Amino acid sequence: MTTPAEPFALPMADQPRVRSDAARNRDALLCTAARMVAEEGAQAVTMDRLAAEAGVGKGTIFRRFGNRCGVMTAVLDESEAHFQTSVMSGPPPLGPGAPAYERLRAFGVARLAATLQRIDLIEAAGGGRSHAAYTFGVLHVRHLLVELGVEGDLPLLAAALLAPLEVPLLRAQIEVQHLPVARLEAAWCDLADRVVGARDQARG
């Protein structure tokens, strides 16, 4: 079996070259929108308020992002890029330097926390992560499974491990079933342990 290379950080969206003033406007809009989401939630971001607080015309937002969903998608992409950086070059165990078994568990717990923290933003951006963000997660988990010597259909196994970390299931578990986050973390780690044969990995 060929070992896939460590996944590289993927661009979250196509970003053509823009003039310096347009780039400044974009940065101002994204920083303002991200602050509003962090302080008050995604529902606080309206086109009128964003334009006023960023100090730009509302038409600028429409030209750069298309609509409110486009703004939310761009904010989510920035957040996803920071998460990818933590995975690729941050401190262990999420980043490099820890055994693959520890990195896998750390990735699941960190992804769960990130999803819950940004659940309203993810839904405002259309309900799910971008294809690039999802692909990064699959490639990273698959890479770790290969390191751990797991056999089988690794792309599907990686997708199965990521599925419990996405919005629809988490929303139902927390808001309908009222399950505590600690239980969800423990359940995901148990699932990962069963996939990789955790007892053997711990002894190794």
Residue 131 — pLDDT band, cuts 50, 70, 90?
A: confident
Query: For residue 58, what is the domain's CATH number?
Result: 1.10.10.60
20 versus 89: the higher-pLDDT residue is 89
- Shared domain for 84 and 26, answered yes or no, is no
Residue-level pLDDT at 14: 45
Residue-level pLDDT at 5: 54
Residue 127 — pLDDT band, cuts 50, 70, 90?
A: confident
Is the residue at 3 inside a domain?
no
- Shared domain for 37 and 91, answered yes or no, is no
Is the residue at 53 inside a domain?
yes
- Shared domain for 93 and 46, answered yes or no, is no
CB neighbour list of residue 81: distance below 8 Å, 6 or more residues apart: 9, 12
Average pLDDT, rounded, for the chain: 89
Q: What is the pLDDT of residues 7-19, one digit of tens each?
A: 555 545 444 555 5
- Shared domain for 51 and 150, answered yes or no, is no
Is the residue at 7 inside a domain?
no
| CA-closest candidate to residue 45, choices 66, 55, 56, 30 | 30
Residue-range definition of the domain harbouring residue 31: 15-66
Domain end call among 66, 86, 106: 66
Q: 28 pLDDT exceeds 60?
A: yes
5 versus 115: the higher-pLDDT residue is 115
> How many structural domains does the chain have?
2
Q: What is the pLDDT of residues 169-200, one digit of tens each?
A: 999 999 999 999 999 999 999 999 999 986 45
- Shared domain for 185 and 164, answered yes or no, is yes
- Shared domain for 88 and 60, answered yes or no, is no
Residue-level pLDDT at 109: 97
Q: Which amino acid is at 36?
A: M
CA atoms within 13 A on the CB side of 151: 1
- Shared domain for 81 and 116, answered yes or no, is yes
CB neighbour list of residue 178: distance below 8 Å, 6 or more residues apart: none
- Shared domain for 141 and 184, answered yes or no, is yes
Residue-level pLDDT at 24: 87
50 versus 4: the higher-pLDDT residue is 50
Read off φ and ψ for residue 152, nearest 5 degrees.
120, -165
Please tell me the pTM assigned to this model: 0.84
